[in-house]
Amino acid sequence: MNEDGTLLDTVKRAGLNPLLPPEETNKAMERWTEARNWLVGSDKFLGKMKTIVVRREKIVELFFPLQGFVIIVGVHPAFPLDKTAQLENLLNKLHIGGDEWRQA
């Protein structure tokens, strides 16, 4: 999604149905954007935000803020959170987000 909360693209694994109804997707994007914007104010003191983790009963949402947009990855609730850095490295190897992402 972009910084305004607009969904830019989506990719899902074949055979999986989204848990969020389509009519709720835009509302959720707006809420996620608000939450992210609350946190970026601390960047100058705490450093750049690398990952936001939202643990829910049915899914874990991983938000990777990039320059101008955010990549959201949904994983199984049993996903080991210590693997988040490995996922970030995988996104880095895919060169998602251009130079801003690789230099973060």
- Nearest CA-CA partner of 31 in 81, 70, 74: 70
Q: What DSSP character marks residue 15?
A: T
The reported pLDDT for the residue numbered 88 is 84
Assign 99 a pLDDT band (cuts: 50, 70, 90).
low
The first and second tokens of residue 7, run together, are: 């969904």
**29/48 Cα distance (integer angstroms):** 21
Is residue 91 classed as helix, strand or coil in its secondary structure?
Answer: helix
- The β-bridge partners of 70 are 65
Its pTM stands at: 0.69
Domains of the chain, by residue range, sit at 22-103
Do residues 67 and 98 touch, judged by C-beta distance below 8 A? yes
What the block records as the tokens of 34 is: 């608000």
Residue range 64-96, pLDDT digits in tens? 877 667 788 889 999 999 999 888 888 777 766
Structure confidence by residue, pLDDT tens digits, 42-66 = 888 888 888 888 899 999 988 887 7
Predicted pLDDT of residue 79: 93
Please give the single-letter amino acid code of residue 81.
L
